[in-house]
A and B are shown apart, each in its own frame.
Chain A
C-alpha cells in the first residue's frame, strides 16, 4: 500500500532500502489544511468567553457559526483518521467551547428578566390553573377545619396555633386586648416595621413557601399537607375573633396583606404539585426528562411567589398598622388582589403564541 505523496521532500533519501516512500501522514496533511480555521475560531471563542458576544464585530459574528461547523466536521473526520492525542483532545474541547458560544443563552439579563415577568411567569401560572385550584382547596379545607375545631372549643386554639405565631393571643385574650394590641395596634415606626417585622415575615414565609414547593419532589404529599396545615391557624384565629365579635375587623386586618400572602402560599403549593404530578405521571418521557421539561414551569411559579411574598411583607409589616381603618384595609387588600389576578390572567397573552 503506497501513501499519498503530496509534498515531495528534497531530502527524500530512504536509508535502510525498504523502498518505502517519504512518510506523509493523512492526519498531518489534514491538520495543516485546517489549522488556520481552528485557530481563528479559538480566538473568537476566547473573546466571547471573556467579554460576551458584544466583543465580536459584525464580520466575526458571521464567521463564528461557519467556523464552528467546520470545526465540528474536522472533529468527526479526526476521530476516524487521526491518532494524534493532542489534536483530538484539542478538537473535542474547541468544538464544545464553540458549541456553547454559538448555542449559549441569547438574552441579556435585562431582556431575560423582561421576558420572564412579561411573558413566561403569567403563562406558567395560567398553565397550572388546576394545580392552583387544588392548592387553594387544600388551604381552604385547612382553614375550615381550624375554624370548626376552635369555634366549638377554644382549647383547640393553643394546639392549632404555634406559640410563636400566637404572640400572646389565645383563649384568654379579651375583645379589648385583640382590638387594641392587634387589629388597631399603633404603628411602631419605619425602622421597626420595615426593618424587623417585614423582614422576619418575609424570611419566615419564604422558608415555609419554598419548603412547600420543594417537597413537591416527595410526590406532593407533604405539599398538600403543608398547604392545609397553613390554613389551620388561620381558621383558629378566625374562630377566636368570631367569638369576640371582631370578625369583620379581623378580616380587614388580614385582607390588606392576606390576598397577596395567601396567594403566594397557594402558588408555592401549586408549583410543588406541578413537580409532583410530572414525577408521578411522566407520560411518554422518562421521569427525569419530564421533570426537566416541566420543572422550569414550577420554578417560575416559585419565583413569582417569592416576589408576592416580598410585596406582602411590605404591606403587612410596613403599612398594615399605618392604615387604621377597616374599609380602607379591605379596599387596599382587594385592589392588590385584583391586580395580581389581572396580571396573571392577562399579561403577555398576545405575545405567547
Chain B
C-alpha cells in the first residue's frame, strides 16, 4: 500500500524521498519523510542570516555605547555576542516552536524524537550545543586554514581541521542523515509538507460502463497515476496528455466506440471511478493488485 503511492510519487515527480516510520504511542505507524540535505542547508542558511542580524542588532548599540577605542575589543565582543546569540537562538526556537526554528519553519522541517516520544528540552539543548563542534569550530579553524602567525603552514591546526571535518561530514555517512548532535540527542530532522485534501474524483452518475474483464487491465499504480493526471489543472498541455491517455486506455481495454473530445474527461473520470471501485473491492478480499504487470489474481 504505502509502496504504491511512493512509487507513484517517484514516477510523477522523479524523486524518491527517504521514508521512515515512527510508531505512535497508540501503536499506529506513521510515515515520516527525512529532510533532504538541500532543505537542511537552506534552513540553516536562513537561520544563520537571522543570527547575523540579531548579533548585529545587539552588537552595534553596545559598541556605540562603549565607543570604538580599539578594533580588538570590538571583535572580541562581537565574537562573544555571536556565540551567545546563536546558542540561545536555536535552543529557544526549537523549544518554543516545537522543534523548528524560523529557517526550518520556512522550509517545512521539524526536529522529532527518533523513537516517537516527546521532544525533551535536554534533547534540544544537546543537539544544539554540539553544533559548535560540528560547524562553528571547524569553520573557525578552516578560516585560519593552517596559516600560522609567521606565514608558514601550521600543521597542528590543519590536522585539527581535518579531524573536525569528520564530524561535519557525519550526516553524509549515516542512513538517517543525522548530525552528531542528532546522534547524541536521539533526534532526527524530517520534512513536514502540508497536504491539502482535494475533492473526491468519484463520479456518481454513470454514462459509460465497463466490464470486469476491462477493469482487470490495470492495477493500483496506474490508477493513482490517472488520479494525478485528472487532478492536474487544465492547460493545453494537459488536454493533450489526457487525450493520449484516453486513447491508450481504449486500446488496452478494447473500447471500440469512438469518444468525442468533449467526452474525454468524463470518460476518464468514470473509468477511474469504476477501476477504483473494482480494485478497492478486490483489495478488501485480499487480492490487491499493485500494477498491471502483476499476475491476474482470479479469472472470472
**A residues apposed to B, CB below 8 Å:** 1, 3, 9, 11, 14-16, 18, 20, 22-23, 25-28, 31, 35, 38-39, 42, 49, 52, 69, 72-73, 75-76, 79-90, 92-97, 99-101, 103-109, 112-113, 115-116, 120, 191-192, 195-196, 199-200, 202-203, 206-207, 210-211, 213-214, 217, 275, 288-289, 291-293, 295-300, 302-303, 306
**Can you show 25 pairs from A to B with CB atoms below 8 A apart?**
A3-B281, A14-B209, A15-B209, A31-B200, A80-B1, A83-B283, A86-B227, A90-B195, A92-B30, A92-B31, A99-B24, A100-B98, A100-B112, A105-B95, A109-B92, A112-B121, A112-B124, A115-B121, A203-B83, A289-B186, A291-B184, A296-B125, A298-B126, A298-B184, A302-B129
Whether A105 contacts B185 by the Cβ 8 Å rule is no
B residues near A292, Cβ cutoff 8 Å: 114-115, 183-186
What residues of B have a CB within 8 angstroms of the CB of A116 in the complex? 121-122, 125
Given contacts A112-B121, A296-B120, contact A14 B206 (CB under 8 A): yes
Can you list the 6 inter-chain pairs with the closest CB atoms, starting with the nearest?
A292-B186, A299-B126, A16-B209, A295-B184, A112-B121, A214-B133
**Chain B residues with Cβ under 8 A from A95's Cβ?**
24, 28, 30
Q: Which residues of B contact A96 (CB under 8 A)?
A: 22, 30-32, 192
Residues from chain A with a CB closer than 8 A to the CB of B279 are 83
A161 to B: closest C-beta gap in Å: 15
Interface centre among B25, B30, B201, B211 (most CB of A within 10 A): B30
Nearest-Cβ distance from residue B106 to partner chain A, whole angstroms: 13
Chain B residue numbers with a CB within 8 Å of A23 are 202-204, 206, 273-274, 277
Given contacts A16-B209, A105-B95, A299-B125, contact A195 B77 (CB under 8 A): yes
Nearest chain A CB to B150 CB, angstrom units: 12
Residues of B within 8 A of A106 (CB): 118
Secondary structure at chain A's binding surface: helix, strand, loop or mixed? helix
Our pick among B79, B125, B228 for the contact of A300 (Cβ within 8 Å) is B125
B98–A105 contact, CB under 8 A?
yes
Contact of A85 with B8 in the complex, beta carbons under 8 Å? yes
Are the C-beta atoms of A195 and B73 separated by less than 8 Å? yes
B117 within 8 A of A: yes
Contact A191 B69, CB 8 Å, known A86-B197, A92-B30: yes
Cross-chain contact B118 with A211 (CB below 8 angstroms) = no
Specify the chain B residue showing the minimal Cβ separation from A92.
B31
Q: What number of A-B contacts does a CB cutoff of 8 Å give?
A: 241
* A120 surroundings in chain B (CB, below 8 A): 121-122
Q: Which residue of A lies closest to B32 (CB)?
A: A96
Closest to A199 in B: B76
Of A9, A108, A291, which is within 8 A of B96 by CB?
A108
Which residue of the partner chain, among B5, B76, B115, contacts A85 with CB atoms under 8 Å? Answer: B5
Bound CA–CA A107/B198 (angstroms): 35
The interface residues of chain B lying within 8 Å CB-to-CB of A109 are 91-92, 95-96
B39 at the interface (CB under 8 A from A): no
- Are A191 and B118 in touch, CB under 8 angstroms? no
Q: What chain A residues lie within 8 Å of B197 (beta carbons)?
A: 35, 38-39, 42, 86-87, 90
B96 to chain A, nearest CB (A): 5
Nearest CB to that of B25 among chain A residues?
A103
Of chain A, the residue at the smallest CB distance from B180 is A217
Known contacts A96-B30, A104-B99, A200-B76, A299 near B185 by CB under 8 Å: yes
The digit string for B100-138, where 1 denotes a CB below 8 A from any CB of A, is 000000000010101111111111111101101100010
| Cross-chain contact A195 with B76 (CB below 8 angstroms) | yes
User: Which residues of chain B from 123 to 164 have any CB-CB distance to chain A below 8 Å in the complex?
Assistant: 123-127, 129-130, 132-133, 137
